[in-house]
Amino acid sequence: MEKCVNHSDRLTSYSCLKHGVYMCEECMHCTDPTIYCKFRPSCPIWFIIKNNKSDDKKKDSDSVHRNP
């Protein structure tokens, strides 16, 4: 466990291998989402962010009500 790059009081195991920094859950985001990253296929940060976005889309579509 290492300290978050933005919050020195928080320990985290999420790391960006490309930039060599650790991020807590609050700070966790991909800093270069449109640029190639050789670590992306095995990046836990990218995986979590991607899943959160798809969950948000599903919630949005579930909340839409259709009138008969």
Answer for the pair 24, 41: CB distance below 8 angstroms, yes or no: no
Residue 16 tokens, joined: 């960006």
Each residue's pLDDT tens digit, 9-53: 999 999 999 999 999 999 999 999 899 999 999 999 999 988 988
What pTM did the predictor assign? 0.71
More confident residue, 43 or 60: 43
pLDDT at position 16, please? 95
| Domain segments of the chain as ranges | 2-60
